[in-house]
Structure 1
């Protein structure tokens, strides 16, 4: 039994060779790279929503250089410990980007002798395209995290790494007593880069408990905090390009940053494990 539903009529999607079709004959063809586009044109706010190719390539370079590896490792351990008694897992990574965290989690769990059905969803076609080229053993979809093409009560885990939270939709697709993992930035995250970019730097940060309280109970929080020295102008630019600061930084600040060949930054990330209320 598959996990997907038609984004138009919400009926089950069945795979027929390289296409998916529902009983109402809505048909979706897989791209040659292996991903499936389930984002309806009526749901798009722009022609190409989500991260563009430059942002995707920057994030891919930065993450594959290992600067955020410790975050990935903590996520993997959190999921594995929570699923210690489970042999088979169905996991969705929402806002999966180019698939760095998604692939590392799947590989880690399989090393623990678990059978993992892993799905990655992102609204950015460029991100999903990059993911599907790199990691062939994961099912990749272009879709909105606000209207997931997933059956009700289908998933053991949902992973939300620095993405917008949609509590009602996560509650719908996660099984009873299933888990949601949320990654969000702490107050000191990339503080040194922000000090280069801005005159006045704020250190307040978002906590997700209030938004999720109707549906999820917070089980634990793990803070991942360390420093990294980013060497090389290209790596510094890649880090900047993959952050929201790219869109809201003053030109003089960006110019200062682009002159640097080395930048020591604080990585400060909160990983929250929530369990679905029953």
Structure 2
């Protein structure tokens, strides 16, 4: 069963937010309206680094098309398996996707949840366009605009936290996870999209795979590599992949032109999936 996550915190004073109709409100009177699309903006202007932070509407549309093509479905399946492992029926399990984009990985997680298990899910992204797109596609979750640097979540209220190709803030993740709660962190490996990078950059820097060092407050339970070939079959699909990544802005004009001229491309998907457990004796939580 999928339910909305309720243990939100006021981004201004950290107090518990309570939902009153179409508004989240804390005891001090700070209130945050729920938009017609079904999400709340919990990113105060003083926490923004730009007027419209995060991915643009065009990047979100490209990501949705690319992910719906199924190229990254093995990543979604592996992430869901890692997140659902050792969750037993009984008390609901709170799950946050920190940097949820348009919600693809949370939707895949929800679809993979076994009968009898209740997940309370929350998707958060700094891009309002991402959260709008996510909220339109999945009505059972809670969706908020926010930042990983100051998660609008009450302490020790989550059992699982996903961070895929994002910006992990492990001190904040430790604050919101219960003791024993887990992070599923997915990062690009050294050969990820190598074929595309060879086209758009004059040269590639060496990027040897390094052992994952668990951050303070966490123990590393496992570290796995997921690697497989994939075929992009059209100019539009190649353009969507480039548009949804930071490579769009880092590539040279000549490199982007070379990519735009391709009718198809074989790529390597290479990611590291680290499973981290929040230590019960984390001194930062004492």
Task: Output the TM-score relative to the length of structure 1.
Answer: 0.96
Report how far residue 202 of structure 1 moved.
Answer: 2.3
Find the counterpart in structure 2 of residue 259 from structure 1: 261
Matches for 1:73-92 after TM superposition, within 5 Å: 73-84=77-88, 88-92=92-96
Find the counterpart in structure 1 of residue 175 from structure 2: 172
Q: Structure 1 runs of 4+ off > 4 angstroms?
A: 84-87, 205-208
**For 2:162, which of 149, 159, 163 is the aligned residue?**
159
Query: Whole-Å Cα distance in 1 between the matches of residues 229 and 221 of structure 2?
Result: 27
Report Cα offsets for 1:179-233 as digits up to 9, x if no partner.
Answer: 01100000110000011111211241676843x4311110001211000010010
Instruction: Please tell me whether the aligned partners of residues 89 and 116 of structure 2 are also in contact (alpha carbons under 8 angstroms).
Output: no
Aligned pair in 2 of structure 1 residues 86, 191: CA closer, same or farther (>3 Å)?
farther
Report how far residue 112 of structure 1 moved.
Answer: 3.8
Report Cα offsets for 1:219-259 as digits up to 9, x if no partner.
Answer: 00121100001001000000001111011100111100000
Instruction: Please tell me whether the aligned partners of residues 185 and 206 of structure 1 are also in contact (alpha carbons under 8 angstroms).
Output: no
Higher mean C-alpha displacement, 80-89 vs 173-182: 80-89
Report Cα offsets for 1:98-141 as digits up to 9, x if no partner.
Answer: 000011102211x3421110000000000000001111111100
Q: Matched residue pairs, number? A: 276
Find the counterpart in structure 2 of residue 133 from structure 1: 136
**For 1:115, which of 93, 103, 118 is the aligned residue?**
118
**For 1:229, which of 231, 236, 247 is the aligned residue?**
231
SS in 1 for 2:150: coil
Query: Whole-Å Cα distance in 2 between the matches of residues 205 and 62 of structure 1?
Result: 27
Query: Aligned pair 1:20/2:24, yes or no?
Result: yes
Find the counterpart in structure 2 of residue 6 from structure 1: 10
Query: Whole-Å Cα distance in 2 between the matches of residues 257 and 112 of structure 1?
Result: 44
Query: Aligned pair 1:33/2:37, yes or no?
Result: yes
Instruction: Please tell me whether the aligned partners of residues 161 and 184 of structure 2 are also in contact (alpha carbons under 8 angstroms).
Output: yes
Unpaired runs of 5+ in structure 2? 281-286
**For 1:270, which of 272, 275, 284 is the aligned residue?**
272
Instruction: Please tell me whether the aligned partners of residues 87 and 113 of structure 1 are also in contact (alpha carbons under 8 angstroms).
Output: no
Unpaired runs of 5+ in structure 1? none
Query: Whole-Å Cα distance in 2 between the matches of residues 160 and 82 of structure 1?
Result: 19
Find the counterpart in structure 2 of residue 214 from structure 1: 216
Aligned pair in 2 of structure 1 residues 140, 207: CA closer, same or farther (>3 Å)?
farther
SS in 1 for 2:49: coil
Report how far residue 85 of structure 1 moved.
Answer: 6.4
SS in 2 for 1:176: strand
Instruction: Please tell me whether the aligned partners of residues 183 and 275 of structure 2 are also in contact (alpha carbons under 8 angstroms).
Output: yes
Task: Output the TM-score relative to the length of structure 2.
Answer: 0.93
Find the counterpart in structure 2 of residue 98 from structure 1: 102
SS in 1 for 2:220: strand
